[in-house]
Amino acid sequence: MPTPTDLQRTVHVRRHPPELQGLDAFSHRCEGWWRRAGWRRKELAACAARIDQARIKFSTLDDGGLNERLQSLRRQRHAQPNAMEEVLEEGLALLAVAAQRELGLSAYIVQLMASAALARGFLVEVDTGEGKTLALALTAAFQAWTGRPCHVITANDYLAGRDAEQLESFYQRVGLSVGRVLGDTSEEDRRRAYSRSVTYTTSKEVAADYLRDRLRLQGLEESGARLALTRMVGLGPAQGAQTVQRGLYFGLLDEADNALIDEAVTPLIISRIMEPGELETACAAAWQVASALVRGADYQVNPGRRSIDFGPGRLEELAAGYEVADARLWSSLGRRGELLRLALEAREFFRRDEQYVLDGEKVVIVDEATGRPMPMRTWRQGLHQMIEVKEGVSMSGASETLARISFQSYFRNYQNLAGASGTVQEVASEIWRTYGLPTLRVPRHLASQRQFLGWRFYPDMASKTAAISAEIRVRHARGQPVLVGMRSVEASENLAEPLVNEGLILHVLNAKRHREEALMVMQAGHRSRITIATNMAGRGTDIRLDPTVHNLGGLHVLASEPHESARVDRQLFGRAARHGDPGSVLAMYSTEDPLFIRFVPGRVRQMWVRMLKSKVASVSWMGQKTGQMLLWWCQFRAQSQAVRRRRQVMQTETAITGGLGFTKGSSRAAAVRI
């Protein structure tokens, strides 16, 4: 049965690429290279220059003349939605003048270049602080003039609500309406928001509404053509098809790499919670058995693969040696072994204040990429219940899945997709292969004044923490604001405690204190301010510097632990020196950071530690250089695994009719449950 998306077909359609092999795959890669080659940037730069000249000309119009030109072009765009190129430059120029008059924001040439690229279906890399919000708004307005639904998808509810509110006067000036869909939006308000010309929302909300519409359309007996006809003649939705969305025509992604890569294989699941029963009893039994097992004697831990290894037949032997009454799932030897392995994984790889936090009697997952709590997300196949047993809290019931889809599959449903982010070049090939989106880097409006002070490596966690504390004290003493990026709640609390005991005032932002996120990050540029936050805190939020801070070097960012992806590290570095302001970045890592423990062999790490501890300057220097090479190697391996995992999910979903299955490799991934 068709969804509302199927009713929006036009000739201007972005088709997501199929899984290709051999020469077809090679040809597709060559096409991707050609579409993101340097000559496209020159072409778009010339286009932006022409738009800017037209903007200067239109800026001489009075309000009446400007409104008349806007209305005329809107009617033309609505009448000929596929004739984009003929009116693109004039349209963006008029919209830029309207934005100047309503918002007081003058679009730079690089923002006009980004808007033109977005309208043509590019994923553009725009450095942090270079005005992605305005560039997205200009493109959204231009596309919404067609009368087709346009979704602007941001990183969180705060940004969606903020942008919709701040840009509302601009959209009204150009003859459009704007709505917003947030986590607490009611169904009727959602339908009203999606009926607006432009809708601001988050990936979780828009994908969840898509799934709910699929459920509403199940059982609809009439044909898709008849459903389309009832809409075209204005009779409203057909009976039984009270959908919320108008279709997935044009999607604009802010912080696009987060949605398309970091969250790509996270399954969004609409489920129904069932009463506690056999699964919970079996999980409790498995945890009881696992508690008696000894690491090294009964099982081995492989941190690189994050797996539990047993000798031949050892798992069956251990499972057979324990009997638990009143647990029917425990009666099957095979299922017993699976539960026992699951319990050991929960004990070895999932730690409180790192992968999850406790909120009262509830286990809340922490997103490892952003550090944000995800209260609507749960681990699958009993892992969540196993961790609840581990923490001694009330177990949630197992859930029955009604509908599910990964964010990767969802975004491939948009007929026209584009986006912007500060970091996409590292994943340009994967984004082209998966979504058919060419990438383009837009130059900066102002030259970067960021000073990268390099990497420093320490032999253990204690020496690294001491060095970070000393660096904070030095910068604080001169009045320079400091932002420390952490990977876990526990690490942020451990760093903050001794500094607070010394009398320093700190602002700690982590999964336990996330409600103040935007305000705390906005104020991170104030004089003498110390902010300790997870790496991705406040993404999309401007950090404005106090005027007195400029002469002190601007915001100083300390990276305390490497991420699996160098791209995410670069996002943290981008918190410094925004808008052409001064700023500095220093990375301070230890050999005991999880990334190195996971991927560096034990003997190599021991040699590395000895080099770093050496009193001989040349040997110690070699230890620092070795750290840089190992950092590159570990991130390369981690990202290679992540790419394979995403591709495996895509292949499986493509192969299964209906496209809603998941691979065994991702069966225990955290899922967003609605």
Please say if the pLDDT value at position 156 is more than 60: yes
Pick the CATH number of 449-590 from 2.60.40.2300, 1.10.110.30, 2.60.40.1180, 3.40.50.300: 3.40.50.300
Q: What is the pLDDT of residue 4?
A: 45
Confidence of residue 97 (pLDDT cuts 50, 70, 90): very high
Domain with CATH 3.90.1440.10 in the chain: 275-397
More confident residue, 261 or 327: 261
Please say if the pLDDT value at position 656 is more than 70: no
More confident residue, 629 or 353: 629
390-414 pLDDT, tens digit per residue, is 888 887 776 666 777 888 889 999 9
Share of the chain above pLDDT 70, in %: 81
State the chain's mean pLDDT as an integer: 83
CB of 475 closer than 8 Å to CB of 556: yes
Please say if the pLDDT value at position 20 is more than 70: no
For tokens 């984009």, name the residue: 84
Q: What would the mean pLDDT of 340-366 be, rounded to a whole number? A: 86
More confident residue, 129 or 20: 129
Domain with CATH 3.40.50.300 in the chain: 4-10+21-267+407-441, 449-590
36-83 pLDDT, tens digit per residue, is 766 788 899 999 999 999 999 999 999 999 999 999 999 999 999 988
Q: What would the mean pLDDT of 182-188 be, rounded to a whole number? A: 90
Q: What would the mean pLDDT of 473-495 be, rounded to a whole number? A: 87
Q: What would the mean pLDDT of 307-318 be, rounded to a whole number? A: 78
Confidence of residue 312 (pLDDT cuts 50, 70, 90): confident
Q: What is the pLDDT of residue 369?
A: 59
Question: Which of 149-158, 219-228, 232-241 has maximum average pLDDT?
Answer: 149-158
More confident residue, 91 or 423: 91
CATH tag, 275-397? 3.90.1440.10
Q: What is the pLDDT of residue 13?
A: 42
Q: What is the pLDDT of residue 229?
A: 43
pTM: 0.81
Q: What is the pLDDT of residue 580?
A: 82
Q: What is the pLDDT of residue 464?
A: 94
User: Residue 500: enclosing H or E segment and its boundaries?
Assistant: helix 489-501
Q: What would the mean pLDDT of 256-280 be, rounded to a whole number? A: 76
Q: What is the pLDDT of residue 56?
A: 96
d(CA 595, CA 592): 8
Please say if the pLDDT value at position 374 is more than 90: no
Q: Any idea which of 256-260, 535-539, 608-612 has the lowest mean pLDDT? A: 535-539
The residue count for the chain: 674
How many Å separate Cα 552 from the centre of its chain? 33
Does the domain at 4-10+21-267+407-441 match CATH 3.40.50.10490? Answer given as no
Q: Any idea which of 99-108, 358-367, 457-466 has the lowest mean pLDDT? A: 358-367
Confidence of residue 659 (pLDDT cuts 50, 70, 90): very low
Distances (CA, A) of 245 to 208, 315, 418, 460: 11, 49, 19, 53
Alpha helices in 502-545 (DSSP H): 517-522
Q: Is 57 exposed, middle or buried (0-12, 13-18, 19+ CB in 10 A)?
A: exposed
Q: What is the pLDDT of residue 394?
A: 83
Q: What is the pLDDT of residue 660?
A: 37
CA angle 630, 495, 466 (to 5 degrees): 65
Please say if the pLDDT value at position 235 is more than 50: no
Listed residue (87, 97, 147) closest to 119, CA to CA: 87
Listed residue (371, 389, 206) closest to 290, CA to CA: 389
Q: What is the pLDDT of residue 219?
A: 52
Please say if the pLDDT value at position 170 is more than 90: yes
The DSSP bridge partners found for residue 567 are none
Q: What is the pLDDT of residue 95?
A: 97
Q: Which residues, other chains included, contact 655 with Cβ-Cβ below 8 Å and sequence gap of 6+?
A: none
CB of 587 closer than 8 Å to CB of 456: yes
Q: Any idea which of 19-33, 468-482, 592-606, 634-648 has the lowest mean pLDDT? A: 19-33
Confidence of residue 7 (pLDDT cuts 50, 70, 90): very low
d(CA 483, CA 585): 10
Please say if the pLDDT value at position 371 is more than 50: yes
The torsion angle over the Cα atoms of residues 291, 294, 299 and 301, rounded to 10 degrees, is 90
Q: What would the mean pLDDT of 536-554 be, rounded to a whole number? A: 78
